Amino acid sequence: MTSTWLITGTSSGFGRLLTEKLLARGDRVAATLRRTAALDDLHARYPDRVWRAAFDMTDTPALRHSVDDAFAALGRIDTVVSNAGYGLFGAAEELTDDQIRHQIDTNLIGSIQLIRAVVPHLRRQGGGRVLQISSEGGQIAYPGFSLYHATKWGIEGFVETIRQEVAPFGITFTLVEPGPARTSFATGLVSTEPSDLYQDTPVGDLRRAWANGSFAVKGDADRMAAAMIAVAAENPAPRRLTLGAGAYASIRTALEGRLAELEQRRDISRSVDNDA
């Protein structure tokens, strides 16, 4: 059965892979990106099944207008994939104010506004699925990625909340948490001007690992994209989908550690309530 998808950030990475796979199997895709020319080849191959719109995720009015146009042009949209975003690397002290603002505006506020824009349409059509592309970085943290993690932890909190609000309308959410994968993430990574102060710290260690290629990137992006497509058909929708053995291990370790710390302070936690 043919499905219709709306996907942001389709010029490269997971967005491009998802678009290619869905079109190849006969689905329709409303593809958004900053330059529509990046999808000229797919539009030429599938002219009746590719709908394109160009906007920047930081431009909320343009985002809303494009979402409205997509639903008007295609009718029902079954699955929305909130994928657009990028990485920002550098010690928190090294980041500029503009870098901080743009990272939050793109990854966090852009994703929030996309979801807010599609929810009324999904509600009116009787339901739909939203895949929010998060990251293993929505559950764990690497030194040097403080703002990236802030956006991913932030969008996870937003999705955890709104999924409860809209569940009565048949709208479901899945947070997708890929580990490092061989996509264009690294080439699109924005880095700060390195400071000598952080050369011999975990930030410097990770910066060198990125530079010399010793940072392990084992995720198969093609297989991850296939898993994302498959999870969109699962009913009930899982709240999270972790992708990659490394991501699974890292997130499990982090969750077990947080639970252990919680239990260690159990008596203190219980002691501060009113007696009455």
- Rounded to whole angstroms, the Cα distance separating 91 from 193 reads 10
Identify which of 224, 254, 225, 238 has the alpha carbon closest to the alpha carbon of residue 153: 254
**DSSP code of residue 192:** P
What is the tally of helices (H) and strands (E) in the chain? 10, 9
Q: Count of residues for the chain?
A: 276
Identify which of 21, 30, 89, 20 has the alpha carbon closest to the alpha carbon of residue 54: 30
Whether 134 is catalytic: yes
- Rounded to whole angstroms, the Cα distance separating 174 from 9 reads 18
Give the Å distances, CA to CA, from 142 to 57, 150, 180, 198, 258.
25, 11, 12, 14, 16
Exactly one of 46, 86, 148, 198 is catalytic; which is it?
Answer: 148
Whether 148 is catalytic: yes
Helix (H) or strand (E) holding 79: strand 79-82
Exactly one of 134, 135, 146, 250 is catalytic; which is it?
Answer: 134
Exactly one of 82, 152, 198, 250 is catalytic; which is it?
Answer: 152
Catalytically annotated residues: 134, 148, 152
